[in-house]
Amino acid sequence: MKLLEYKGKELLGKYGIPVQNGIVAGSPEEITSKINKLTPPYVLKAQVMTGGRGKAGGIKFAAGIDQAEKLSGEILGMTIKDSVVKKLLITEKVDIKDEWYLSIMLDRVIKSPMVIFSPLGGVDIEETAKNDPKKLVKITVDPFLGIKGYTARYIFSKFGLDKKYFEDFALLLSNLYKLFTEYDSTLVEINPLAITKEDKLIALDCKADIDNSSLFRHPDIYEFREGLDEDVLIKDARKYNFLYIPLKDSSDIAVMSNGSGMLMSCIDLITKTGAEVRAALDLGGGATRERIAEAIKIIFKDKITKYLFISIFGGITRCDEVAGGVKLALEEGLENRKIIIRLEGTNKKQVLDILDSIGDSVIFAEGITEGVEKLASIRSTR
């Protein structure tokens, strides 16, 4: 679960990490009613789940209220990398004299948290790692020990940082790690971590990812997610613990499977035929026929989707349950839709009898390649 900047900063503030005073608004009228709480000049920042907003015009500066209201009208509603700006974060501008980078992420290879620091903040960390790797340090954190004082001391020693910032930095790093662990995070990033003219450390930006499976422990994050302006099909799928992923608006093909690897393989093969995939749905494991039927209905709620390619290896999810779910969905009426289905695994022998009872709306394939070929053939003749 990726957080918008303003929500990430809320968490930072909750853990005693300094952030700018700010307001969040979704309309010019809301900005007018709230902006008096802040002292000019202002920074206006589009709240979108994508990078590059500054280059796209999603970050602007305003000297006073009138200019802030005018610029906010320009940012709200703009599109940044396919994301429409629905919310705006306005903060007080801070005079800074230096910028650092600091993050804690879950390293899935070593299965431990990792602290990443660079004295070159304000730019993409990938750029720093590529162009000036000596200005970047990665420190593995033993989850049984957590952050200790020697972690901050090592960072300051390696880069020769001014010791007058050490106590503030050590406390900030400790609090950031506490946030990271208590909120089941996979990433908490501050970029830049700024040093102000008054020699104070302050987080000017924040990215945070929270493990989706932990949201039952974090009602504030759950409420944030449910309040997002998401595709209605994403929300419908989530109710059944499915993952629905919109892809290409120009297509009329959807793909359904029980695993991201299988989904990507299917999408790659379909793409090689010259077609594109409109959406993908990951069932996860153990889906019953009732859940399969709900998944199919969710996909076909999108009236543009005319073809569904299903590829499932039946282990926990039995093949006859999948076929039964297809039959159950089609019994409720899905006109002018075609389902191409490839099944392998538990109870496969029972599948053909079930599918034969459905009619010509469903086409069976013995393998993924054969299924993709049949999909391409059907589309070319309609």
Catalytic positions are 101, 189
What local confidence, expressed as pLDDT, does residue 246 receive?
A: 92
CA 322/CA 326 separation, integer angstroms = 6
Q: Which residue(s) pair with 115 in the sheet? A: 104, 139
- Per residue in 247-280, pLDDT (tens digit) is 998 899 999 998 888 899 999 999 999 999 999 9
CB 183 within 8 A of CB 8: no
Q: Return the closest-CA partner of residue 289 out of 318, 313, 322.
A: 322
CB 42 within 8 A of CB 90: yes
For residue 108, what is the DSSP state? T
CB 288 within 8 A of CB 325: yes
* pTM of this prediction exceeds 0.75: yes
Which amino acid belongs to residue 340? I
What local confidence, expressed as pLDDT, does residue 366 receive?
A: 87
What local confidence, expressed as pLDDT, does residue 81 receive?
A: 82
- Per residue in 59-99, pLDDT (tens digit) is 999 999 999 999 999 999 999 887 889 999 999 999 999 99
The alpha carbon dihedral of 99, 100, 105, 109 has a sign of: positive
What local confidence, expressed as pLDDT, does residue 93 receive?
A: 95
Mean pLDDT, the chain, whole residue set: 91
- pLDDT confidence band for 122 (50 / 70 / 90): confident
Domains of the chain: 21-92 (3.30.1490.20), 96-223 (3.30.470.20), 232-380 (3.40.50.261)
Question: Does 382 have pLDDT greater than 70?
Answer: no
CA 119/CA 156 separation, integer angstroms = 10
